Amino acid sequence: MNKPLKDLKWKSRVDLIRPEFILEIWDVLKMWAEKYVANSWQWVPTKDHYASAMRHMLAWKQWEQFDQESWKHHLIHAATNMMFIIFNEKNEKK
């Protein structure tokens, strides 16, 4: 029986995420940092991230593919907002 060269069982499988998806989210984060302050999204209440995600989802649902301010896909904006919400959920003081 051949033993694997490296035990990857407990390693993150970031290779399973499409690189273009990561880059699109990175682009939205970069725009946020330029418009506001880098990482300031961490102090925005979850309800505001939720409202933003819903606005992007509703715009997409109404056949508007790209955000008129950034020209990024509405679903990428919504995904970024969902990431913000997950961050807030994990870091809320209970």
Q: Is residue 4 part of a domain?
A: no
Q: What is the per-residue pLDDT for 71?
A: 95
pLDDT value at 1 more than 70? no
Smallest Cα–Cα separation from 39: which of 88, 74, 79?
Answer: 88
Domain-embedded: residue 2:
no
Q: Is the pLDDT of residue 85 over 90?
A: yes
**The pLDDT of residue 88 is above 90:** yes
Res 94 pLDDT > 60:
no
d(CA 75, CA 50): 13
The range of the structural domain enclosing residue 75 comes to 43-94
Task: Give a yes or no: residue 60 inside a domain.
Answer: yes
pLDDT at 63: 95
Report whether 46 contacts 85 (CB < 8 A).
Answer: yes
Domain count, the chain: 1
pLDDT for the residue 14: 85
Bigger pLDDT: 88 or 94? 88
Percent of the chain with pLDDT over 90: 79
Is 64 a domain residue? Answer: yes
Write down the pLDDT at residue 10. Answer: 74
Measured CA to CA in angstroms, residue 34 lies from 4, 13, 15, 49 at distances of 45, 30, 28, 18
Does some domain include residue 55?
yes
At 29, the amino acid letter reads: L
